[in-house]
Amino acid sequence: MSVSMRDLDPAFQGAGQKVGIEVWRIENFSPAPIPKSSIGKFFTGDSYIVLKTTALKTGALRHDIHYWLGKDTSQDEAGTAAVKTVELDAALGGRAVQYREVQGHETEKFLSYFKPCIIPQEGGVASGFKHVEAEEHITRLFVCRGKHVVHVKEVPFARSSLNHDDIYILDTKSKIFQFNGSNSSIQERAKALEVVQYIKDTYHDGSCEVATVEDGRLMADADSGEFWGFFGGFAPLPRKTANAEDRTVTFDTKKLFCVLKGKANPVEGDSLEREMLDTNKCYILDCELEVFVWMGRTTSLDDRKVASGAAEEMIRSSGRPKSQMIRIIEGFETVPFRSKFDTWPQETNTTVSEEGRGRVAALLQRQGVNVRGLMKAAPPKEELEAFIDCTGNLQVWRVNGQEKTLLQADDHSKFYSGDCYVFQYSYPGEEKEEVLIGTWFGKQSVEEERASAVSMASKMVESMKFVPAQARIYEGKEPLQFFVIMQSFIVFKGGVSSGYKKYIAEKEVDDDTYNENGLALFRIQGSGPENMQAIQVDPVASSLNSSYCYILHNDSSVFTWIGNLATSTDQELVERQLDLIKPNLQTRAQKEGSESEQFWELLGGKTEYSGQKLTKEPESDPHLFSCTFTKDILKVTEIYNFTQDDLMTEDIFIVDCHSEIFVWVGQEVVPKTKLLALTIGEKFIEKDSLLEKLSPEAPIYVIMEGGEPSFFTRFFTSWDSSKSAMHGNSFQRKLKIVKNGGTPVAEKPKRRTPASYGGRASVPDKSQQRSRTMSLSPDRVRVRGRSPAFNALAATFENQNARNLSTPPPVVRKLYPRSVTPDSAKLAPKSSAIASRSALFEQFKTPPQEPLIPKSIKASPKTPESPAPESNSKGKEEKKENDKEEKSMSSRIESQTIQEDAKEGVEDEEDLPAYPYERLKTTSPDPISDIDVTRREAYLSSEEFKEKFGMTKEAFYKLPKWKQNKFKMAVQLF
């Protein structure tokens, strides 16, 4: 239901189209917009409408509408605000959630829009009220309550207003005092200091003294004496007496009413079921503190106004000023509303599946039909960013019962589905070295070894004083950060651990552990050389998928299968994974629709298979929760519109983005509770506070305060690491900031040494480290792996018979050098190696054609070379001579690499011939020969280049390489 723009109040024209807050005040029974400079200022005699517009990850806009009623507002103005709110919602499409806010009893969501607080001023526009203009400063006393958002209320300036349970702010002309009741918490005191800062900035232009007074310290210091002097001297405070406003409803009643002709009629039933709600009617669900108005999708605007009026009357007649009224539309029910019902069906997304379309397209393509129009792809999505540097050091252990075995560097990324692993990854962070310690559980792994892995990882974190972040990852639910760390990740079937072997023996099941000489099928997936996986699947035709490429092998044959919907990037990844899985055999390429009989025979015959790309849990908009965990019971409170300042060092918080769970642990949390952080994350998934059907295998991260990685801080609009570097509890830290004029005072952190575990050395044994591909971040000077010149040299050491025969000859240039596995790199004697190098450099000198070596991002450091076995007949002098010659060659290579690196950004300066796009793209039926295939875009004319890329060549080559590659992939030039 919606209203026409003709009937819409002119003040609402264009409302809700931009992210942010819009406010209207009711003046003469009509809404009048409030200027941005006055947003956050409220008067007790007025009524307001507040619209909060938020952009979701899906690109849609979400609207929350609140109407705020001052304690002195007239009944007519309050009614006008309620009615106009319904009209505004209808104009926005009828999807907004509407909240009734009463002064002094506002919802936490409403207060979160105006952090740190709102302090309503006396006055109003109606009924003879006038806005009070402050001519001379008046001493005022405020009481502050709240741990996450602060409810501020002005109370009489008298000693009788004080008590031991609350926090008070005394605002005098020259000084602001904060009085901390002895029973108040540290977190409440810290939040109250934000109000002190607000008062200081708003009413004192940021220049006045601030003092804190602790309840029970008597006249211990000058500030205390001065504070009590305003009250006529110190005297014992009375105990707090509960008044009507302080009383809370402890029982949970739920009564459902159907609104007919303006009257609320009870709905009979033993339990609340979704089926009780009729789309043609409006209902009231009375839960004492919360009163929900549910409006069916087909109800009229008048019906909704009448139902809202009936709910208002229900609250007023029962004398419940603290009750909050929330109005919701069918189909957009909130989590608190749905949780009141005994049963509520799972929401069904109305997204159109591509499964059917993919199958039809693949079938038609096999028959030779051009399906380009049918399968027209959507614009390329922005590639997800890993937010982790991939240049660090990795150590991996396989769990074997109660022990763990350190893996060789060659096996770091080769996991078995029946095993559990522990990994430690140290990498350069924004300001210091970061460490991530994690566990990976295979789908077939046993529970005993999973528990052992968690225990081992927790002990590693504890031994490093809880500095590293910790991760718990399940097979099939790996986050992008994990894949970037592992880079070329392979998952084999079966397992080699004692726990797995014992399990299959007890269950008397077949051991399907991967055998390199047996039959195996691998699905290849990923987004590029720094994020590619090979997953072993059942060797049957139904395991195939038209959207992927596969590797199939037995003891003597290797096939690659290219699905009709696979991309050129997928095909590139197959070539790379062949080097790791089966590097020593000739491969036979199979295109979907033209497979050989032998291929189908190995798979047991041809059957139906899918064409839809596998999808992972999407990342949703993040939600922040404060947690308390006592006696194995987890209680959570959501914090709306959160910022870094909402994280208190005494507490544990959880960031939930659906696909991943982050448990943040403050420095002041006791060590015993820190050890339970992972358990808290698991309890949170079980609790499923947002009713979002969280996967029990969703990745869980434990993040320690002061060591927040970028993949955690990205959820906050801004992050100041100096706040974590401050010492003391939350109150002490905030007090330093307030007294320092609002700027964090960071203590100098201790210099952190490179972290390691399992040895005395501060850096892991180099033999256990592998060469890491460098970060893609354009903000850092990074090296993209080994210099291509060194890769060319490494190829001269390689046994030609051992090379994968499907690999193109070295003359063919690729953007990324293919990885050389340690198994295939057979070392030659030094003398022949030096001769080969010399011959290679002679080749580098002569050719006038385009350079063979692609430009790297920045100057590359020297890559350590594998030592060649020495001949025992060589003497020391010959050895020194050879070493000297090697160093000379290395310096020449490095010099050449640096010269090439200096050219980045000016690749367009070369005078290259221009060719049409249709012949340059990777899928061209008539491709151009004799071009540098790593720089196809350089052969486009300036006009066609700008048409395809939307920018000039000069602008394009100023982009970082990773971004260039992404653009080239989008137009099939990669």
Average pLDDT over residues 351-380: 44
Q: Which residue bears the tokens 């986050």? A: 479
What torsion do the CA atoms of 442, 448, 450, 455 make, to the nearest 10 degrees? -160
Q: What is the pLDDT of residue 379?
A: 37
Q: Which two tokens stand for residue 62?
A: 């979400």
Average pLDDT over residues 931-954: 87
Q: Phi-psi bin for 829: left (phi > 0), alpha (psi -120 to 50), beta?
A: beta
Average pLDDT over residues 91-103: 92
Residue 937 has pLDDT above 80, yes or no: yes
Average pLDDT over residues 532-555: 96
Give 265-304 pLDDT, tens digit per residue.
999 988 899 999 999 999 999 998 899 999 999 999 899 9
Residue 863 DSSP code: P
Q: Between these two residues, 95 and 424, which has the higher pLDDT value? A: 424
Average pLDDT over residues 498-514: 92
Backbone angles phi, psi at 266, to 5 degrees: -60, 145
Q: What is the pLDDT of residue 658?
A: 94
**C-alpha span between 738 and 10 (Å, rounded):** 43
Give 759-769 pLDDT, tens digit per residue.
323 344 444 44
**C-alpha span between 398 and 444 (Å, rounded):** 14
Q: How confident is the model at residue 402 (pLDDT cuts 50, 70, 90)?
A: very high
How are strands ordered across the β-sheet holding 661-665?
403-406, 393-400, 420-428, 433-441, 469-474, 700-704, 661-665, 652-656, 623-630, 633-639
Q: State the DSSP H helix or E strand holding residue 283, giving kind and residue range, or none if neither.
A: strand 282-287
Residue 502 has pLDDT above 50, yes or no: yes
Q: What is the pLDDT of residue 82?
A: 93
Cis peptide before 116 (omega within 30 of 0): yes
**C-alpha span between 389 and 775 (Å, rounded):** 5
- DSSP string spanning 86-154? HHHHHHTTS--EEEEEETT---HHHHHTTTT---PBS--SSTT--PPP-SS---EEEEEE-SSS-EEEE
Alpha helix locations (H) across 148-185? Answer: none
Q: State the DSSP H helix or E strand holding residue 67, giving kind and residue range, or none if neither.
A: strand 61-69
Q: Which two tokens stand for residue 433?
A: 């070295």
Q: How confident is the model at residue 396 (pLDDT cuts 50, 70, 90)?
A: very high
Mapped onto helix, strand or coil, the DSSP state of residue 258 is: strand
**C-alpha span between 561 and 559 (Å, rounded):** 6
Average pLDDT over residues 527-549: 94
Specify whether the CB–CB gap between 524 and 533 falls below 8 A.
Answer: yes
Q: What is the pLDDT of residue 926?
A: 84
Q: What is the pLDDT of residue 775?
A: 36
Q: State the DSSP H helix or E strand holding residue 682, giving kind and residue range, or none if neither.
A: helix 677-687
DSSP collapsed to 3 states, 785-820: CCCHHHHHHHHHHCCHHHCCCCCCCCCCCCCCCCCC
Q: Which two tokens stand for residue 305?
A: 């106004």
**C-alpha span between 64 and 52 (Å, rounded):** 5
Average pLDDT over residues 193-221: 87
Q: How confident is the model at residue 852 (pLDDT cuts 50, 70, 90)?
A: very low
Q: State the DSSP H helix or E strand holding residue 196, giving kind and residue range, or none if neither.
A: helix 186-203
**C-alpha span between 815 and 533 (Å, rounded):** 19
Cα separations in angstroms, 852 against 520, 703, 931: 36, 45, 11
Give 17-73 pLDDT, tens digit per residue.
999 999 999 999 999 999 999 999 999 999 999 999 999 988 899 999 999 999 999
Residue 829 has pLDDT above 90, yes or no: no
Mapped onto helix, strand or coil, the DSSP state of residue 335 is: helix
Q: Which of 77-81, 115-119, 775-779, 935-939 has the lowest mean pLDDT?
A: 775-779
Across 365-402, b (16+ Cβ under 10 Å) vs e yields bbeeeebeeebeeeeeeeeeebebbbbbbbbbbbbbee
**C-alpha span between 355 and 540 (Å, rounded):** 20
Average pLDDT over residues 149-156: 94
What does the longest C-alpha to C-alpha distance in the chain come to?
A: 109
Cβ atoms within 10 Å, residue 112: 19
**C-alpha span between 558 and 516 (Å, rounded):** 11
Give 575-595 pLDDT, tens digit per residue.
999 989 988 788 999 999 999
Closest CA to 151 of 181, 110, 183: 110
Residue 719 has pLDDT above 80, yes or no: yes
Q: What is the pLDDT of residue 950?
A: 85
pTM, full prediction? 0.74
